[in-house]
Amino acid sequence: MTAIGVLRAAYMAGLRVPQDLSVIGLDDVDFAEYTLPPLTTIRLSRTDLAHAAFEALRTQTEDPDNPKMQREFLVSTSLVVAAQQLCRPQFNLKANHSLDLASNPQRLACTS
């Protein structure tokens, strides 16, 4: 959610993302793909995160004075790159024009 706030603050300051500022979110919230521009995020494994939280709580309650209590946990992550950053379609639509992708699918190929 913080990254979405950064996108808004950048917009309000007249900055362009990604031309002037790079923003990456954390936790891959569902509506990140609907922001303008779409937000690249880091997805955390909710299962790993829940397991780590449970283990930390269990350890804390079983032996609260243990000086060797584990303080760091590994959580699986993956990078979710916003679709807009993957490629740019090779077409431009102008007013009152349409594009028939069924008859010309190669137009969807990505440019380098």
Q: Residue 84 — φ and ψ, nearest 5°?
A: -60, -30
pLDDT, averaged across the chain: 76
**For position 14, what pLDDT does the model report?**
93
- Give the tens place of pLDDT for each residue, 42-65: 988 889 999 999 988 998 898 888
Task: Name 40's bridge partners.
Answer: 24
Q: State how far the Cα of 83 lies from the Cα of 86, in Å rounded to an integer.
A: 5
pLDDT at 92 over 80: no
Q: Return the domain boundaries, the chain.
A: 2-84
Q: Residue 34 — φ and ψ, nearest 5°?
A: -100, 0
- Give the tens place of pLDDT for each residue, 24-43: 898 878 777 788 888 888 98
pTM of the model: 0.58
